């Protein structure tokens, strides 16, 4: 088996067996992959996780031993092979089978290698028939298997977006997420950085909505470029960048970031403020604060103070002290499935309901810290209305001294910006699913 495929298998074993987050495991393991294979490695790992229910359905059609009872090595090798057969162009199917069998042989399991060979050869022979069988499943089951989404989540999205839109929604959330970066405007302009990229053969373009955003169209090792080391840019999704753009904190002001780690929104605010004033970047997890410290040094920022604090607990020392507040609250993450596909399997209705109380409590605390005339953004990386507009309206109902603020001058093509909020959807805008509301204390 090719070395990159072996690393894909080893990465997937960590994700499935240890229940590790795919993005974290990939970031660690990709360092050992040759640059030529990094894009395919990432695509393969995320692809298997993304299409897991489809893959397991195919395997279970051809195997008497079901996936739930298989040895880890056998199961992961089969999953990768099926992904390559059905979702990768030019995957050289016979080679995929041979290398999968060899991997198990090299583990010293001859019996299992014969099993893997038999299952994969049967799948190869009956590919067309398997797909036809899938298409004849009952509608709800077909959607669940084809797009690899739990029936519970499909039902939720059908109610929100409509049955006629559901396949478009599922397909968009399974698409490969682009690499987007935020320009450090204190050191370089977006056009200047684009010119440098062009000269180096890096294909890039302006983001459509984020004024500081660039989308990289061909894969690069961003953290190894001179421009990254010099602090000219940071990796951040376009949707996430928009929170800072919409808040637009003024120079020499006090900003509180309620749930800051890994720090992208605090760092963006610091750049917007030209490294003036003070940003208090708080997070409940002390171990994550080092990420903020490391990034502010790389970017040349010194107005950020990172500290551990639970955003659900009121800090009496900050009452009415802040000019601007970022309340990017914990959420179900249903807007970033493209980047963390395991999210779709791990979110239950009970968990979503539990998180609503946390979100409202953080928003209420943020409101206490805001000066009269001050502004805050409430944001999430989910498309779930209960966590988004419903939370904001519930807050406003019980807090008459606050109102949504028109920010249509900060972003184009979002009519609801006039009402003080925007809802971003992958199937509509091609960005991560996000919600951003701007709230003013009157």
Instruction: Supply the residues annotated as catalytic.
Output: 381
Rg (CA), the chain: 24
The DSSP output letter for 32 is G
- Is there a contact between 232 and 184 (Cβ–Cβ < 8 Å)? yes
d(CA 2, CA 113): 17
Locate 381 and state its tokens. 């990386």
- Please tell me the number of Cα atoms within 13 Å of 150 on its side-chain side: 13
- What angle do helix axes 52-62 and 72-87 make, rounded to 10 degrees? 110
Q: With beta carbons less than 8 A apart as the criterion, state whether 359 and 330 touch.
A: yes
DSSP class of 313? S
Cite the beta strand spans of 294-369 per DSSP E.
Answer: 304-308, 322-328
The candidate with the shortest Cα–Cα distance to 43, out of 31, 55, 54, 51, is: 51
- The pairing of strands 278-283 and 370-380 is unpaired
Cα separation, 223 vs 225, whole angstroms: 6
233 bridge partner residues: 183
């Amino acid at each position: 088996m090719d070395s990159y495929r072996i690393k894909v298998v080893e990465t997937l074993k960590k994700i499935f067996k240890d229940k590790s987050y795919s993005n974290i495991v990939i970031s660690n393991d990709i360092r050992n992959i040759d640059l030529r294979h990094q894009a395919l490695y990432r695509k393969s790992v995320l692809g298997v996780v993304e299409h897991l229910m489809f893959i397991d359905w195919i395997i279970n059609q051809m195997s008497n031993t079901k996936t739930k009872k298989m040895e880890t090595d056998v199961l992961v090798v089969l999953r990768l092979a099926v992904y390559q057969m059905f979702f990768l162009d030019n995957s050289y199917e016979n080679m995929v089978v041979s290398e999968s069998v060899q991997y198990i042989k090299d583990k010293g399991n001859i019996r299992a290698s014969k099993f893997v060979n038999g299952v994969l050869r049967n799948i190869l022979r009956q590919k067309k028939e398997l797909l036809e069988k899938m298409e004849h499943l009952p509608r709800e089951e077909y959607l669940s298997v084809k797009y690899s989404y739990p029936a519970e989540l499909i039902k939720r999205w059908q109610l929100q977006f409509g049955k006629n839109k559901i396949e478009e929604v599922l397909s968009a959330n399974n698409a490969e997420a682009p690499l987007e970066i935020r320009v450090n405007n204190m050191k370089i302009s977006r056009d200047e950085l684009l010119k440098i990229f062009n000269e180096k053969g890096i294909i890039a373009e302006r983001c459509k909505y984020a004024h500081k955003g660039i989308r990289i169209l061909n894969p690069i090792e961003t953290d190894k470029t001179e421009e990254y080391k010099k602090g000219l840019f940071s990796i951040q999704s376009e949707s996430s960048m928009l929170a800072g753009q919409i808040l637009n904190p003024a120079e020499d002001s006090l900003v509180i970031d309620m749930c800051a780690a890994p720090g992208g929104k605090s760092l963006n605010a610091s750049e917007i403020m030209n490294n003036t004033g003070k940003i208090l970047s708080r997070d409940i997890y002390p171990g994550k604060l080092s990420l903020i410290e490391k990034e502010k040094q790389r970017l040349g920022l010194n107005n950020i103070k990172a500290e551990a604090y639970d955003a659900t607990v009121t800090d009496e020392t900050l009452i009415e002290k802040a000019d601007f507040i970022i309340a990017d609250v914990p959420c179900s993450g249903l807007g970033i499935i493209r980047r963390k596909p395991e999210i779709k399997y791990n979110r239950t209705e009970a968990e979503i309901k539990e998180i609503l109380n946390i979100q409202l409590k953080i928003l209420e605390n943020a409101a206490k810290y805001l000066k009269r005339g001050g502004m805050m953004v409430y944001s999430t990386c989910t498309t779930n209305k209960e966590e988004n507009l419903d939370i904001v309206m519930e807050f406003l109902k019980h807090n008459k001294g606050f109102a949504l603020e028109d920010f249509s001058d900060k972003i184009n093509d979002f009519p609801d910006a006039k009402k003080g909020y925007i809802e971003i959807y992958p199937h509509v805008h091609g960005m991560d699913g996000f919600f951003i509301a701007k709230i003013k204390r009157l």
